[in-house]
Structure 1
Amino acid sequence: MNEILVPIDLTQEEKEILAVFSKRQFVLIFPAGVVSLIFLLWGNIPFVPALPDFFIRLVIFLVVMGIAISLAYIRLDKYQQFLNEYVVTLWKFRKSQKTYMQ
C-alpha cells in the first residue's frame, strides 16, 4: 500500500484559545492587556490636566501592548527561541555566577 507522508512543522505552536492564541501567547498578552486597558480607561496621573493625562495613558497603553505582543509573537530563528524565552535566558545568564579563568 502506498503511504503519503505529510510534512509537519514542529516549530509552530498549536492555537488553542479562540484559534488565535496559544496558551503561552494568551498568558503573555491577556493580563497585560486587561491591566493596561483598565489603566487607560479609569487611571489617573496626578497633577496632570485631563487631556494630556489621557494621551500619556494612551502612549503607556500602546507601549505596554507593543511589548507584550512582540514578546508573544516574535520568534528568533537564530536562537530557535521566542523573544520572551530569549529575554529570560539573557536575564538568567546575567544573574548567574560566572567563573573567570586567567
Structure 2
Amino acid sequence: MRKVTVPIDMSSEQKSILGMISKRQLIYLIVGGAIIYAYMEPVYNLGPNFMISIIMCLVAAIPVATITALLAFVKMSKHNLHLDHYLIIKMGYKNQIGVWRKGPK
C-alpha cells in the first residue's frame, strides 16, 4: 500500500472568511458584538459625564469580550479541540453516566 504525505493540516477548521477566521469564529464574534451593543446604551446613560461613561462602557464590555474571545479562538492542544467543543462535551458527560444497580430494581 502506498503512503502519501499531505502537505496541509486536514483536521483543522477552514478559514473561509478572508482566510483569517472560520464561520464558527465569525458567529461568536457577531453574537458577542450584538450582546455588547445591546447593553452599551443603558450603561452609557448611567454615567454623569462623557469620560466616566466611556470608562464604564469599557469596563462593562470586558467580561463579554473575554468570554467571546476564549470561546472563539482558544484551542486546547491536549485534546485537539476548541474550548467551546470541549465545554459542550464536559457538560454532556453527566448525562452519559448511568446508575448501575445489581438486582431486580
- Structure 1 gaps of 5+ residues are none
In the alignment, what sits opposite 1:80?
A: 80
Partner in structure 2 of residue 26 of structure 1: 26
- Measure how far apart 1:62 and its partner are: 1.4
Cα distance in 2, alignment partners of residues 97 and 12 from structure 1? 27
Distance 2:6 2:79 in 1: 26
Residues 47-86 of structure 1 mapped to structure 2, 5 A cutoff: 49-50=47-48, 54-86=54-86
RMSD of aligned alpha carbons = 2.7
Do the aligned residues in 2 keep the contact of 1:37 with 1:61 (CA within 8 Å)?
A: no
Q: How far off its partner does 1:98 sit?
A: 2.3
Amino acid at match of 1:43: P
Tell which structure's C-alpha radius of gyration is larger: 2
Runs of 4+ in 1 over 4 A off after TM superposition: 51-54
The offset of 1:56, in angstroms, is 4.0
* Partner Cα distance (1:98, 1:76) in 2: 24
Letter in 1 for 2:43: N
Q: Look up the match of 1:14.
A: 14
| Superimposed CA distance per residue, residues 54-89 of structure 1 (whole angstroms, 9 cap, x where no aligned partner) | 544322311111111111111112111100001111
What count of residue pairs does the alignment treat as equivalent? 96
Same amino acid, percent of matched pairs: 24
Counterpart of 1:99?
98
5+ long unaligned stretches in structure 2: none
Give SS of 1:7's match.
coil
C-alpha change, 1:55 and 1:79, in structure 2 (3 Å) is same
Question: Greater RCO between the two (CA within 8 Å, min separation 6)?
Answer: 1
Cα shift at 1:97? 4.9
